[in-house]
Amino acid sequence: MTDLFAVTEATWPAAALHRAGAFVVRQGQGGGKRVSSATLDGPWDARDIAAAEAMHARLDQPSLFMIRPGEEALDTALAARGYVVVDPVHIFHARLDVGVPLCGPVPPVSAFEIWPPLAVMRDIWAEGGIGPERQAVMQRAKGPKTAILARSRDRAAGVAFVAIHDGTAMLHALHVLPQLRRQGSAVNIMRKAAHWAQDHGAGQLSVVVTRANAAACTLYSSLGMQIVAGYHYRLGGTKTGMTAR
């Protein structure tokens, strides 16, 4: 299978990458946990953890590590240093094949692909906590990308961002206005993203979601997507204000 961690990295990129011992520390500039975490990249010991901690401090961001499958020893070591688990995450994935619910029809004038995003799309993201810093992450993504706008009751209802890397599309920052939920907008966004991805050469689509987001997990499962991987973060120190995922 495609390396979905590499797809996530490419489609939701950090502002900069910094080497710290055996770790790569991302400089997030307020863009959320995924672009502000350290990940393991080679053999390590306690000195490498300390180097990553020092780099986080230098970047003035919380000391945060992403723990991926197979990194149980690192997880244990961080727990012993007082790090706490935050935001366990599922990665949902589906092939864009005929018959998959994700590739179903999109009702006319219910969803549109638009890049760059319109002001109303930025406003919807901001209302959902996806402010200028996270929207800046979208601008940094290279390769094919677009934003999806859903309409319901003759008004803008929801938005998402989707980009492609190595033949796989990944959807990020899905938000539907609370007063316009349960009208099919999230499904229409997902299907529009799938059609756009197919049109731009992608054969599969993935999305990352916190395990606690039961509604989103149910949505993705209903569209034929399956959980294929996961990760969580370990957070240390006293800095706060990090956004989810």
Q: Which domains, from first to last, does the chain contain?
A: 4-89+231-236 (no CATH), 92-229 (3.40.630.30)
pTM of the shown model: 0.94
- State how beta strands 84-95 and 145-152 pair: unpaired
CA distances 49 to 41, 61, 72, 142, 212, Å, are 12, 15, 14, 30, 28
Whole-number Å distance between alpha carbons of 175 and 186: 8
pLDDT tens for the 245 residues of the chain, in order: 689 999 999 999 999 999 999 999 999 999 999 999 999 999 999 999 999 999 999 999 999 999 999 999 999 999 999 999 999 999 999 999 989 999 999 999 999 999 999 999 999 999 999 999 999 999 999 999 999 999 999 999 999 999 999 999 999 999 999 999 999 999 999 999 999 999 999 999 999 999 999 999 999 999 999 999 999 999 996 443 343 34
> Residue 2: its pLDDT value, please?
87
Buried-state track 109-128, b at ≥16 Cβ within 10 A, e below 16: ebbbeeeebeeebbebbeeb
SS3 content of the chain, % helix, strand, coil (to 5): 30, 35, 35
> Residue 237: its pLDDT value, please?
66
Beta-strand (E) ranges in the chain? 16-20, 23-27, 38-40, 63-67, 84-95, 111-114, 145-152, 155-165, 168-176, 204-210, 226-236
